[in-house]
A and B are shown apart, each in its own frame.
Chain A
Amino acid sequence: MDNAPGKNKQKQAINNTIKKLVVLVFAMFGFGFALVPLYDVFCDITGLNGKTSTEAASVKDAGVDSERTVTVQFISRTAQGIPWQFEPMINEVKVHPGEMKFVKFYAKNQSMRDIVGQAVPSVSPGRAANYFQKIECFCFNHQPLKANEEVEMALQFYVDEELPEDVSTLTLSYTLYDVTEKSDS
């Protein structure tokens, strides 16, 4: 009251602080969402979490390391609520790093309605995920199956030669989800 300029100066300072804090609030709100792509990038780089690439790898002609043999196991499960039979047609294969392999999975829609499925792969141990290269995979696309329809689905892959020495067994797990509602087809 007695020092009006002082009061004005304080008001100014208060407004400045508020502005900074409000910017911080919005920045942190954005950061929360930025964590989503950051998480994917982080998993991509480190191969944590067993996420494999969602895109087809190109064929590589870097020769086969026939000195070494890696066992690749296949397992499959269906998420709750999708009435499909879904299983690998071979449980495990032995491959040399760099060698191309072709395996098939079997799926049958056991219900009386058309369902669109989506298989999501995961590799264990997680740090091997980046060395498991899929050239062709049914998991790259939605799989629509009519009622009672059955299908054999293809997977073509190779294991990168750079796979850490101590990994001798890879497990590739597919989980099948019902995405009928989310799919346009």
Chain B
Amino acid sequence: MTTEVIHDSHQGDEHHDHKMTGFKRWLYTTNHKDIGSMYLWFSFIMLLIGGAMAMVIRAELFQPGLQIIEPDFFNQMTTVHGLIMVFGAIMPAFTGLANWMLPMMIGAPDMALPRLNNWSFWILPFAFSILLASFFMESGAPNFGWTFYAPLSTTYSNGSTAFFVFAVHIMGISSIMGAINIVVTIMNMRAPGMTYMKMPLFVWTFFITGYLLIAVMPVLAGTVTMVLTDTYFGTTFFDAAGGGDPVMFQHIFWFFGHPEVYIMILPAFGIISTTIPTFSRKQLFGYSSMVYATASIAFLSFIVWAHHMFTTGMPLFGELFFMYCTMLISVPTGVKVFNWAATMWRGAISFETPMLFSVAFVVLFTIGGFSGLMLALTPVDFQYHDTYFVVAHFHYVLVTGALFSIYAGVYYWLPKWTGYMYSDALSKWHFWCSLISVNILFFPMHFLGLAGMPRRIPDYALQFADFNKWVSIGGFAFGLSQLIFLALLLKCIKGGKKAEAKPWDGADGLEWTVASPAPYHTFEVPPKIK
């Protein structure tokens, strides 16, 4: 893709700005870059809060027996850890990246709906305040698992259901508005000449993710509403006594829940498809197959939900259907992994930090994919179901998958955002510490699960003690490693070596045609794409 950029002579920081200062600037801002930064900071804070909860969990599980916390508080920790990481850390981080990069990648001056954008960010802190405030209630925070299965969240709720439901409602509204904004921007604001098949793959993945969000977040809103009315208003959607069915809860929840999994991984594919070509100094191998693979994964995500429910007593036909559909997803996913490998093949590869995270992503995400395939097999899932094998699986795809891709993206675009190069040494420390500790943390969980250790239980049998000790040590190390990133971030914002407009020589795309740091307003006159 060749681009020809027409820069306004007066484009820059001072350009008809009535920039406010202090808190008001951030509260009132409609600038996609400001909002992107706020999303990213918010998600990082949430990562640390959710991470602190994981530390509590791992501290309790360091030794067999109950040492530090009560079982009920342990349940609250696992529940809120999950909710915060899914809705507070991973999803807002991707929305933040989308806000920062999408307009610059498609040559638009801003998102299509800047005020909506402001609102969708600023309701998030309220949602999480509500959720976290429930810790201070007498009966405590939600303790029914982030999947809030009925009747745990209805009949046996500890009284936090209302807090939980309203928090999820607000998060859902925020996500839906964010997704509408992304889709509208991509459909209508592309620079002249940028056809759909010329969009960077990063843009494609967010486009498809936006549609997934619009399709399933309303279903989640419906589910939590049913839980709310079941708990407080006497309806019986999930209560067999009134003609409802608790198994139906799982069907409706996972109808949302499985596409949600892809909402958290498709943007990661987009990031990796941007970084790997840059540092391999080659074009992305098989661009159009990547687009179709992304679309097929999104489509298939709607017809595999019941593989989370193999043990609920489905008829054989249902189990086979969902098993085969699930295994089918490995085909487009395999296309992607092979395309990334082919992009690297015979490339002039250099291992800057974004590339390190990207390569780690490809390898470790694939491990998570393989354990996913094992879980897709109905007969063996009966053994793996609700064990640490599942925990190992989804942490490989969400931590070394989604989170590592976000780190790759942040390290890739950080010079564009701050205008400074970050400390190479610190970033490498961050990478290697994270890589080693994350594997000590999650790899032994596979063995624990296969040996039968159940998840979400604060105690375990003695034979699991050694592995759990290592897992906990890996957990603490991984948690501390993220503080290196915080230090690096603060240092990079303050200053450092000036970044060039295009700090990576192999990089391609409109975002590198503007100065570093990116001016407050970019592409007020759209660039022409040939």
Contact = CB atoms under 8 A, between A and B. Distances in A.
A160 interface: no
B183 to A, nearest CB: 6
Nearest to B189: A10
Interface in A110-142: 118, 120, 126-127
Contacts of B214: 21, 24-25, 28
Interface in B155-190: 176, 180, 183-184, 187-189
A49 B241 contact: no
Given A25-B176, A28-B214, A179 B242 contact: yes
Contact of B113 (A18, A48, A178): A18
A99 B168 CA distance: 53
B255 interface: yes
A4 interface: no
Nearest to B237: A36
B223 interface: yes
Contact of B236 (A1, A13, A29, A182): A182
Interface in B226-258: 226, 234, 236-237, 239-243, 245, 247-248, 251-252, 255-256
Given A25-B214, A26-B218, A35-B252, A54 B243 contact: yes
Contacts of B222: 29, 31-33
A171 interface: no
- A32, A39, A177, A178: most-surrounded residue (chain B CB, <10 A): A32
A117 to B, nearest CB: 9
Contacts of B313: 126
A32 B221 contact: yes
Contacts of A10: 188-189
Secondary structure type dominating chain B contacts = helix
B208 interface: no
A36 B242 CA distance: 13
Nearest to A29: B218
B315 A48 contact: yes
Contacts of A41: none
A39 B180 CA distance: 29
B216 interface: yes
B252 A32 contact: yes
Interface string B182-217: 011001110000000000000000000000001111
B127 interface: no
Contacts of A126: 313, 315
A14 interface: yes
A22 interface: yes
B318 interface: yes
Interface in A64-94: 79
B188 A14 contact: yes
A35 B249 CA distance: 10
Nearest to B243: A54
Interface residues of A, number: 35
Contacts of A22: 180
Given A21-B183, A24-B214, A31 B219 contact: yes
A49 B223 CA distance: 20
Contacts of A156: none
B240 A177 contact: yes
Given A21-B183, A28-B219, A48-B315, A178 B245 contact: no
Contacts of B188: 10, 13-14, 17
A175 interface: yes
B170 to A, nearest CB: 15
A48 B240 contact: no
A118 B241 contact: yes
A158 B245 CA distance: 25
B344 interface: no
- B217, B219, B221, B226: most-surrounded residue (chain A CB, <10 A): B219
A120 B243 CA distance: 8
Interface string A6-27: 0000100110011001101110
Contacts of B219: 28-29, 31-32, 35
Interface in B6-30: none
Contacts of A178: 241
A32 B241 contact: no
A36 B318 CA distance: 18
B180 A21 contact: yes
A117 B123 CA distance: 44
A181 B234 CA distance: 9
Contact of A29 (B180, B221, B524): B221
A66 B26 CA distance: 81
B438 to A, nearest CB: 35
Interface of A: 1, 10, 13-14, 17-18, 21-22, 24-26, 28-29, 31-33, 35-36, 39, 46, 48-49, 51, 54, 79, 118, 120, 126-127, 175, 177-179, 181-182
Q: Lowest 9 A-B CB distances belong to which pairs?
A: A32-B222, A177-B241, A29-B218, A28-B218, A32-B219, A13-B188, A14-B188, A17-B184, A120-B240
